[in-house]
Chains A and B, each alone.
Chain A
């Protein structure tokens, strides 16, 4: 990637980037996966699921406290040696790369169902990849600004969705805790995919301009995302009820259709527009992450051609293996387990080594 400048990221930008990678277009169908198991307490599961990014946050804060200028790729090479370190980094890359086709595929589905049903999938993918790669090419600072803008879009989405309170009933949420703790806990596991990819912080923390603020910015991101998901699931159950949610594919969209505002005749297009922005931003972020990890392997990766190549590979994989929602879900359920499992292991091991070796800044030998 073009080293735009030595400009560093402000804490707000770090928060925005983290929120950006976790909140993608799949949030609109977050209630579907959770309600299946936890029924009307799905929103509690969504809140509980935040434990996963919270854990990642704490590990990141710890490691960043010890090595504020070295990202995890450098650290893994340092502790595992060049060979194993590079392999571990490659697996780290794969864990992000596995999200790429599924996010693209979801975006495609929503676009074709709700807006541009007349475009062929290939055309939509090409536009997606062009937008994503261009934004990523411009550097992380630009991406961060895009994410900050996107936060405003989220705030708008959430603010508008408060209106749904007029159209549902609290009875749909009751009885609270009626599903039992086992179901709620199992439901929380189902939210893993929605909270995923926060591990990007391990690449970002060297870029912050004030390391003392890292802790607060990371925790703010987790808090925002947790609130957003909990609210989305809550308001969807409130509006539709758990009997109807399984019949929909993107239940949050169906819930927002109830909103009627005098001046705006059809709120749907505004909503879908905001969501599609979100989707494109996630794709740009994933692009950036993949390219920057690969950059570690080979310094030549990062020029324009590599962006194009990555885009073509992703389109190819998406169209072959993820042609529709059902195949996507079956592949994703497997790859997510791998990504999350490996990432947790990876960061925990490195943190443990640092702890044991008492390395880095501020360690008391």
Chain B
């Protein structure tokens, strides 16, 4: 009796197991699946027809000989979802999400609005939310075509570029697709991404792309980007320079701590941005006796403070009058203090407010001496 019971349980268990496995679907082999390393997004408007989304996927072809290469499979369709169907007509592997390292938005689709693209990524739980985002100038297929020595695919290289951009030029760390989700729709925030260009020498980050909601407003050159980053990011690092002539210059490595204060007086908002800069002199061909005389050090610190403050104020003017955009996350501070969901346009408010910048520079180390 005991034995029979066990057999019955065993048979039931096996039957249940078999039932659960029926119709499990086709099991995918890794060789039959498209391992994407980067996805590009673009939009083309032909004169006679509707706009078409052009979404190339840069995928890796693994070779038994060890040297992998990459290829591009492009889907073109009038909706982002249908690009998958179109791409499958040209792809001998199954579509698969989760391995991509970088998402590249062309200037074409950034001008159009990237909400649709963000939506299709947001919905899918398999998407790699730690993938880096960047904007590129021109056809993203050219970027995917450019082979880089030592890398399986150019997307791997570009992802590394964005990831390691913080550390210099005062770039921040929030350039993943998850950060894009948060910044596009949060009150008082606007999206900023580094943008890259391709020349014969290769890829280069040439500045930042500023967005209002999901549309691109403008590109900033790298010089303006550095200033903006200082004002926008906290705990950023980069190099500050004073150069009087090709032979006379001084470089200082800088760590910038930023604090923002917000006050509302008589309906007008006032922001105060405090930049606390600490750093070391890297090379000095301008200030004689800097390491030995405290007064010279102080002179240098004052000079750098004045220059930086002037650069910041220049940028703020441009931001308020030309770009008409709050790209410094000031709106966010105001929202936290004065309330959310009130329906105000924070870009407008910030551009009409008083923004004051205070810069304090402190030199820690002055190197081993002056040559």
Contacts and interface: CB of A to CB of B under 8 A. Distances in A.
In the complex they form, whether A and B have CB atoms below 8 Å apart is answered with yes
Interface of A: 39-40, 113-114, 118-120, 123, 126-127, 130, 169-172, 174-175, 178, 240-244, 247, 257-258, 260
A178 B25 contact: no
Given A178-B339, A244-B185, A257-B178, A171 B19 contact: no
A114 B25 CA distance: 17
B224 interface: no
A347 B79 CA distance: 57
B122 A174 contact: no
Nearest to B332: A171
Contacts of A240: 182
A119 B20 contact: yes
12 contacts: A130-B16, A169-B332, A171-B333, A174-B336, A174-B337, A175-B337, A242-B340, A243-B186, A244-B182, A247-B122, A258-B129, A260-B130
B36 to A, nearest CB: 17
B335 A171 contact: yes
Contacts of A171: 332-333, 335-336
Given A113-B125, A241-B186, A118 B333 contact: no
Given A39-B340, A171-B336, A241 B178 contact: no
Nearest to A242: B340
Nearest to A173: B336
A243 B190 CA distance: 13
A120 to B, nearest CB: 7
B341 interface: yes
A243 B125 contact: no
Contacts of B19: 123
B328 to A, nearest CB: 14
A127 B338 CA distance: 51
A43 to B, nearest CB: 15
A351 B269 CA distance: 57
Given A175-B338, A242-B340, 12 more contacts: A118-B24, A119-B20, A119-B24, A123-B19, A126-B20, A130-B16, A174-B337, A175-B336, A175-B339, A241-B186, A243-B185, A244-B186
A325 B126 CA distance: 20
Interface string B316-358: 0000000000000000110111111100000000000000000
B181 interface: yes
B202 interface: no
Contacts of A260: 130
Nearest to B24: A118
Contacts of B122: 247
A40 B341 CA distance: 10
Nearest to A124: B20
A130 B16 CA distance: 11
B369 interface: no
B337 A241 contact: no
A130 B15 CA distance: 14
Nearest to A126: B16
Contacts of B187: 241, 243
Contacts of A120: 23
A260 B24 CA distance: 32
A244 B185 CA distance: 7
A39 B336 CA distance: 12
Contacts of A114: 125
Given A171-B335, A175-B336, A175-B339, A247 B129 contact: no
Contacts of A257: 129, 178
Interface string B286-310: 0000000000000000000000000
A241 B182 contact: yes
